Amino acid sequence: MTNLVGRPRAELERLLAPEVDRPFRTRQVASWLLERHAVSFAEMTNLPKVLRAALARRFAIADPEVLRRTAAGDGTVKYLLALEDGATVEAVSMPEGARATLCLSSQTGCAVGCTFCVTGALGPGRNLTAAEMVGQYRLMVRELPPSVERVNLVFMGMGEPLLNTQALGTALEVLYESVSPKRITVSTSGIIPGIRWLGGLPRPPKLAVSLNAPDQRRRERVMPISRRYPLPDLLRELRRFPLDGGRRITFEYVLIRDFNDAEEDAAAVARLLRGIPSKVNVIPLNEDPVHLPGLHRPPGEVVDRFGERLRRAGLVVTVRVSRGSEVAAACGQLKGAHQARSATSESCLPALSPSRR
């Protein structure tokens, strides 16, 4: 049967037209799917019973299956999800008062290979479909606490979103029915053609770029994709990215002890981003002794000094507080733990050069 999840409104109405003789009925079904996140036709009580039965015979409403759901004390919920072909992905829900941030995956693995990321250590996987991306959102939003009134979405889970632009574009069109583009962020390791595509959308979401080092040499060490898309070329493209309404580009900077955490590194980052409307998100490394051996987060005082040095340079800075650490909420950690139960060995990651101090 045809799955209706992840279909834009116009496509839904086209698919439903042969079964529904009145246009307003197709709009009702679309509303149930896109705005109310229905999981069955039986829920659509404003439709005639006979129509609901006819739709159920021809169409499916299928989201990913929850294999594992783990909650942390701070309210973070980490999901391990099974897809129709048996592949697994992760998603994370982070409610906080009246707001919640939902973290979505775009691929079942990642070929980019960042050396500080568990997903990169697990290796490449396939692209997710629009239905699989939207399905993560649907199942998590249904489980949010009643206190949540506003949802933000971040494509910062497993995979590189801008290596899956066709499905991502469709997913964004569907998600915009419920969530404003201003509350959706797409994170990239620096895929220049994808950034150009994102900026060319009629309604682009917010952009986040994984930076992680202030120079090309060290960025190549932790992000091999930088060899294909060098840092100078990336920055030129970012300076052209459309930023309407006071928007900024978020630069994510994972702090790794004795590699990129010196105050001199912070000063170099400030020089690098000069002239770009930006916000720097400082992220102490999420350690994983199995998949990221030998990599450690800096002490708290080093993290604070790094953030303060950026602020003194005039940048907007946030220091991410780790959430859900007891449920392996960092990208790839829950899937990595799931796979490690049957693994017999793990490969070692390359050693990193020390930071300049």
Transcribe 75-95 into DSSP letters: S-EEEEEE-TTS-EEEEEEEE
| β pairing state of 77-82 and 88-96 | antiparallel
Q: Which of 90, 132, 160, 173 is catalytic?
A: 90
Phi, psi of 187 (to 5 degrees): -105, 140
Please give the angle made by the CA atoms of 231, 239 and 257, to the nearest 5 degrees: 40
SS3 203: coil
Report the DSSP beta bridge partners of residue 208.
Answer: 187, 250
91-94 contacts, C-beta under 8 A, 24 or more apart: 91/136, 91/139, 91/140, 91/157, 92/157, 92/324, 92/329, 93/140, 93/143, 93/144, 94/323, 94/324
Decide: 183 and 151 in contact? Cβ < 8 Å: yes
CB hemisphere CA count around 118 (13 angstroms) = 25
Cβ pair 255, 261 in contact under 8 A: yes
Question: CA–CA separation, 78 vs 314, rounded Å?
Answer: 35
Reported as half-sphere exposure (CB side, CA atoms, 13 A), residue 196 has a value of 8
Name the active-site residue from 13, 149, 331, 348. Answer: 331
Amino acid at 230: P
| Annotated catalytic residue 117 | no
Q: Are 211 and 251 in contact (CB under 8 A)?
A: yes
Extract the tokens encoding 158: 């497993």
Active site annotation includes 103: no
Where does the chain have alpha helices with state H? Answer: 9-16, 23-34, 49-58, 118-122, 130-142, 165-175, 192-199, 216-222, 231-239, 263-272, 300-312, 333-340
Give the active site residues. Answer: 90, 331
